[in-house]
Structure 1
Amino acid sequence: MSTSLTKDEGLDARLVLDRGTFTLDVELTVRPGEVLALLGPNGAGKTTALRALAGLAPLTGGHLRLDGETLEDPALRRRTAPEGRPVGVVFQDYLLFPHLTALENVAFGPRCHGMPRAAARELAAGLLDRMGLADHAGAKPRRLSGGQAQRVALARALATGPRLLLLDEPLAALDARARLDVRAELRRHLAAFEAVAVLVTHDPLDAMVLADRLVVVEQGRVVQEGTPAEIARRPRTDYIARLVGLNLYRGDAAGHTVRVAPGLGLTTTETLDGPAFVAFPPSSVTLHRERPDSSARNAWPAEVTGMESHGDQLRVALTGSGPAAGLPLAADLTPVAVAELLLAPGVQVWASVKAAQTHSYPA
């Protein structure tokens, strides 16, 4: 569902780009002060959408309006050049000028817009101070850590007073330790940003922490939109389910049962009728060498297809057999449990999950 905007505030866009073998058709509406994250697998069209917003990839259809002003509309033959758009961009690899100091990098944009040198440097110094980089104003990019370079890039993007801030995988170049600190800092700066911010990322944690709302794109189309909590609780595609770490099945519901395979119905606590999804976390799955005699209402045979480390546990990949033939499944077990069950690829087991640990909702 699109966010309602008045005609004079925020971003209102339908981004249509036809590249022959790939067509992007994505609608985005974002309020001022809101951070929107575009999520999707590789090749989904996230970066293409970001380039379209920046004016680097011309639209073949749709429109792009920002604060009531039409920046692009192919039907009207109207298109504002990238340099004429009130847009700031933070690129994945930051693209800082290597021969300029941090201060000069940040002052570059305002200077290009005609601001006097002294005023631009004063503005840049203030932004670097806000970023906690006042002591590094005279340093060139090669002297900065990844986190410091990311903050300089953000300051540079903010220096021109953009009405639309675009962030392309802003934390991808950082190591795991730096990501934790910089993610928290970036969230603080974005919370203070009064215009529209659009973030492209493949990292669900970045999206969940930094964004107010998520738009998930697959094969050039929006497949789901909502708050991080809504997306995490009710995924609607396999990609989203894997992203948030859930097993997801689609089937037909009748009361407390959702039939997800010809011979398998899963019992849930919710009462539904018609097309429905069933989701549950891998941690709720129990594996057994024999058919379980327990309180779990849902049990089916499966074959182990692989295992990998997942934090302090092992994630076991399985494929259903018998009435659940071909049904994929992920289960999280301790190394001790895996050893006791003698699990290995090809081993036949029984999987079970309690009804109380499932969640069903309309498809």
Structure 2
Amino acid sequence: MTADPTPQATAGSGVPLLDAHLVVDRGAFRLDLPLTINPGEVVALLGPNGAGKTTALRTLAGLLPLSAGHLALAGREFDHPNRRVWIPAEQRPIGVVFQDYLLFPHLTALDNVAFGPRRHGLNRHQARQRAGDWLARMGLAEHSRRKPRQLSGGQAQRVALARALAVDPALLLLDEPLAALDARTRLDTRAQLQHHLAEHPGATLLVTHDPLDALVLADRLVIIEHGRVVQEGNAATITAQPRTDYVARLVGLNLYRGHADGYAVLLTDGFRLTTGDQHDGDVFVAFPPSAVALYPDRPDGSPRNTWPATITGIQRHGDNLRIQLTGPIDVAADIIPLAAAHLHLTPGQPVWAVVKATETRTYPAAPG
């Protein structure tokens, strides 16, 4: 059986259950990721393709060794190259839910869940009893005799989660756990997953591309690009003050960097914006696509933030249309379909874009 977290790493103690600095060299790419997770905490790891998310997950799971740094869980070292410490995957108190679940197709749901406890020393009867308990907690008791092909996507996801939790993992790794589900099933399963994660006393790392999964399920977000952390914090902090283009797109904001002189910000490409906040020095300026108004002709009154633009793309975005614009700055605008029809918007069409100063947010940028 896996050991329980040490007394120094229990919920509320303030001592991280996972204490790691993941340094992995893979050719020209280097992952350099400090990462701590407290007992009972859910951390979401986000980033674009190639950022290092999968490398981080494989390293934590024991499928890929560290090049440098360290990995300790519940006070025990599992990977420390300088000290020649390496504990293989099967000996780590870690549960993993893969994107495609990877359930054993020839085993029933019950025996899929019992597999881990059996590997950790329980006899067949004990392992199946524990598996039955976990399937009941997942609302799947009546499906225990079914094989994976007889389960829906949401049911298979819950079996995979039960299998991961049945070994009492100190660390639970979730690799895009909802990506394989359709929109309706995803909504229901996300709510169920949120409930089960709230009851998990160990540390949880959620690797995802989906900002909604991260915002709903995680206590803290860690965002990496090119193998390094670019922003970290709770959802409110991240959404209020994104610090890279990727993070801005993730939370649905237009983001620009420039130099502020009072209420005027000179952007790096030479365009000037008037903002509602007074600053001096390097700043970020952010505003939502809904703050961008579009006009077929230059509007009367000449608002300060007015510029000519050209439509480069139109996509449906929820109940609105997301209009991509190029011009002095690239910007996204959200408008209702009726307004788009009234303006006869098409790609290549010239328009005028307007953003009120009061719709912008300005905050300091670290030198870079």
- Taking structure 1 as the reference length, the TM-score comes to 0.94
Report the 3-state secondary structure (helix = DSSP H, G, I; strand = E; otherwise coil) of the residue aligned with 2:156: helix
2:288 is matched with: 281
1:340 is matched with: 342
Q: Which runs of 5+ in 2 are unaligned?
A: 1-11
**CA 1:7–1:70: 2 relative to 1, 3 Å:** farther
| Structure 2 Cα separation of the partners of residues 8 and 283 of structure 1 | 42
Within the candidate set 142, 147, 161, 1:140 is matched to: 147
**CA 1:10–1:343: 2 relative to 1, 3 Å:** same
Deviations 1:144-203 (A, max 9, x none): 111001001000001111100000000011111100000000000001111100010001
1:267 is matched with: 274
Report the 3-state secondary structure (helix = DSSP H, G, I; strand = E; otherwise coil) of the residue aligned with 2:314: strand
Q: Report if aligned partners of 2:15, 2:38 keep a CA contact under 8 Å in 1.
A: no
1:35 is matched with: 42
* Correspondence list, 1:97-112, <5 A: 97-112=104-119
| Structure 1 Cα separation of the partners of residues 67 and 181 of structure 2 | 35
| Structure 2 Cα separation of the partners of residues 208 and 8 of structure 1 | 24
- Compute the displacement of 1:9 (Å): 3.9
Q: Does residue 1:258 correspond to 2:265, yes or no?
A: yes
Q: Does residue 1:52 correspond to 2:54, yes or no?
A: no
**CA 1:71–1:285: 2 relative to 1, 3 Å:** same
Q: Report if aligned partners of 2:222, 2:232 keep a CA contact under 8 Å in 1.
A: yes
1:218 is matched with: 225
Within the candidate set 91, 115, 120, 2:122 is matched to: 115
**CA 1:263–1:60: 2 relative to 1, 3 Å:** closer
Greater mean alpha carbon deviation, residues 17-26 or residues 146-155? 17-26
| Structure 1 Cα separation of the partners of residues 195 and 303 of structure 2 | 44
Q: Report if aligned partners of 2:51, 2:227 keep a CA contact under 8 Å in 1.
A: yes
Q: Does residue 1:172 correspond to 2:179, yes or no?
A: yes
2:9 is matched with: none
| Structure 2 Cα separation of the partners of residues 247 and 161 of structure 1 | 43
Q: Does residue 1:357 correspond to 2:364, yes or no?
A: no
**CA 1:262–1:209: 2 relative to 1, 3 Å:** closer
Report the 3-state secondary structure (helix = DSSP H, G, I; strand = E; otherwise coil) of the residue aligned with 1:96: coil
Greater mean alpha carbon deviation, residues 254-263 or residues 72-81? 254-263
2:80 is matched with: 73
| Structure 1 Cα separation of the partners of residues 200 and 301 of structure 2 | 53
- Compute the displacement of 1:118 (Å): 1.5
| Structure 1 Cα separation of the partners of residues 27 and 318 of structure 2 | 42
Q: Which runs of 5+ in 1 are unaligned?
A: none
Identity between Structure 1 and Structure 2 (%): 64
1:228 is matched with: 235
* Correspondence list, 1:119-130, <5 A: 119-130=126-137
Q: Report if aligned partners of 1:208, 1:228 keep a CA contact under 8 Å in 2.
A: yes
Amino acid at match of 1:354: K
| Structure 1 Cα separation of the partners of residues 192 and 14 of structure 2 | 32
| Structure 2 Cα separation of the partners of residues 142 and 125 of structure 1 | 19
1:189 is matched with: 196
| Structure 2 Cα separation of the partners of residues 9 and 305 of structure 1 | 47
| Structure 1 Cα separation of the partners of residues 269 and 30 of structure 2 | 35
Amino acid at match of 1:37: A
- Compute the displacement of 1:340 (Å): 2.5
Within the candidate set 64, 68, 88, 1:61 is matched to: 68
- Compute the displacement of 1:14 (Å): 0.8
Q: Report if aligned partners of 1:296, 1:355 keep a CA contact under 8 Å in 2.
A: no
| Structure 2 Cα separation of the partners of residues 190 and 71 of structure 1 | 24
Aligned-CA RMSD value: 1.6
Report the 3-state secondary structure (helix = DSSP H, G, I; strand = E; otherwise coil) of the residue aligned with 1:305: strand
| Structure 2 Cα separation of the partners of residues 356 and 7 of structure 1 | 40
Q: Report if aligned partners of 1:295, 1:354 keep a CA contact under 8 Å in 2.
A: no
**CA 1:33–1:161: 2 relative to 1, 3 Å:** same
| Structure 2 Cα separation of the partners of residues 335 and 217 of structure 1 | 35
Q: Report if aligned partners of 2:16, 2:36 keep a CA contact under 8 Å in 1.
A: no
- Taking structure 2 as the reference length, the TM-score comes to 0.93
Within the candidate set 156, 160, 168, 1:149 is matched to: 156
